[in-house]
Amino acid sequence: MAERTLSVASAHGLHARPAAHFVKAVTDSGCTVELQKGERAVNAASILGVVSLGIEHGDEVTLRVAGDNAEAVLDQLSTFLEQDHDA
């Protein structure tokens, strides 16, 4: 399992639109991905789970990826979260 902690860059956090794109990238990857904020972790393939975390700009989150090409998928998803999708 690959894991990374990072800061979310989107000016308005991971609201519905960027969360939907993030979840699509997760499901397209074919990997099992967990997204954690604080003590709460959710299946990152669930739009309701991701949005329910209430991730805001600058929040620190942890990504955990299991499956084929876990490191590459972790890099791709990390890059997504480290970009501002509200610019």
Question: Tens of pLDDT along 59-79?
Answer: 999 999 999 999 999 999 999
Per-residue pLDDT of 8-38, as tens digits, reads: 999 999 999 999 999 999 999 999 999 999 9
Which is catalytic among the residues 15, 21, 57, 85? Answer: 15
Per-residue pLDDT, 86: 84
Full-model pTM:
0.95
In the residue annotation, 57 being an active-site residue is answered as no
Q: What's the rounded mean pLDDT across residues 26-52?
A: 98
Residue 45 makes CB contacts below 8 A (sequence gap 6+) with: 23, 26, 27, 33
CATH of domain 2-81: 3.30.1340.10
Per-residue pLDDT, 87: 72
Pairwise CA distance, residues 75 & 59, whole Å: 18
